[in-house]
Amino acid sequence: MNTHNRINYIEFQASDLEAIKDFYTRAFGWKFTDYGPDYVAFADGSLEGGFAKGDRRG
Residue pLDDT tens, the chain, 58 long: 556 788 889 999 999 999 999 999 999 889 999 999 999 999 887 889 999 999 876 5
Determine the Cα–Cα distance for residues 53 and 55; give it in Å rounded to an integer. 7
Q: What is the pLDDT of residue 10?
A: 93
Determine the Cα–Cα distance for residues 22 and 41; give it in Å rounded to an integer. 13
Residues 6+ apart with CB under 8 A from 33: 40, 41, 42
Determine the Cα–Cα distance for residues 7 and 57; give it in Å rounded to an integer. 23
Q: Break the chain into its structural domains and give their ranges.
A: 9-53
Q: What is the pLDDT of residue 42?
A: 95
Which CATH class, in words, describes the domain spanning 9-53?
alpha beta
